[in-house]
A and B are shown apart, each in its own frame.
Chain A
Amino acid sequence: DTEVTQTPKHLVMGMTNKKSLKCEQHMGHRAMYWYKQKAKKPPELMFVYSYEKLSINESVPSRFSPECPNSSLLNLHLHALQPEDSALYLCASSQGGREKLFFGSGTQLSVL
């Protein structure tokens, strides 16, 4: 299994809603990542988990809250988002070091 699975594929939420994005991988990778991608832009790193511990937070607003319940799962909890947070949210995993990242197909998020 060389897939990173993200759910849901699409999400529409209001600014007062609370929702969660989910990501799963069964490749035994030790590093997992959240990226945000706006249209026609490259992905921007948000968070990195290494061995289930948060190792990098790229100054992301607290309305985004990551969680890594175990080595296969990564969540991104969303609360009180703004319309400018609308984007494609990509999860990725890797063995770490200089190894390649495997990306999921993303969650297209729209904040109304």
Chain B
Amino acid sequence: GDSVTQMEGPVTLSEEAFLTINCTYTATGYPSLFWYVQYPGEGLQLLLKATKADDKGSNKGFEATYRKETTSFHLEKGSVQVSDSAVYFCALVDPGYSTLTFGKGTMLLVSP
């Protein structure tokens, strides 16, 4: 079945540091890939998405590129802020099932 593997957290960074959160996937079809963010006490918000190989999703300074050859969708940001502290979930939708498969989530903690 489909699965998503994310790096273990928490990831602890100082403000303005570079961020990478690794995500790899296995899927039977050609999935769409997503990053969702969850701030404390809230639901999930879509951060960015990519629907086909080599697509780059971007939003709020975050980027991720759909790499079919390495089955990866790593999240990056050049300069993190304290307000980016949250849990980040990598996820995929297999077109055959129309449901999200989530990774376990990576907590990001950014200190001033």
Binding site for B on A (CB under 8 A): 6, 31, 33, 40-43, 45, 48, 50, 56, 88, 90, 92, 94, 96-106, 108
Contact = CB atoms under 8 A, between A and B. Distances in A.
Given A100-B46, A106-B43, A41 B104 contact: yes
A43 B44 contact: yes
Contact of B43 (A33, A42, A90, A97): A90
A56 B32 CA distance: 20
Contacts, number: 58
Contacts of B41: 108
Interface of B: 31-32, 34, 36, 41-46, 49, 51, 89, 93, 95, 98-100, 102-105, 107
Given A41-B105, A43-B102, A98 B31 contact: yes
A105 B89 CA distance: 16
Nearest to B104: A42
A63 to B, nearest CB: 22
Contacts of A108: 41
Given A90-B43, A106-B42, A106-B43, A99 B93 contact: yes
B18 to A, nearest CB: 25
27 contacts: A40-B107, A41-B104, A41-B105, A42-B102, A43-B44, A43-B100, A43-B102, A50-B98, A56-B99, A90-B44, A94-B98, A97-B95, A98-B31, A98-B32, A98-B93, A98-B95, A99-B32, A100-B46, A100-B49, A100-B93, A101-B46, A101-B93, A103-B36, A103-B43, A103-B44, A106-B42, A106-B43
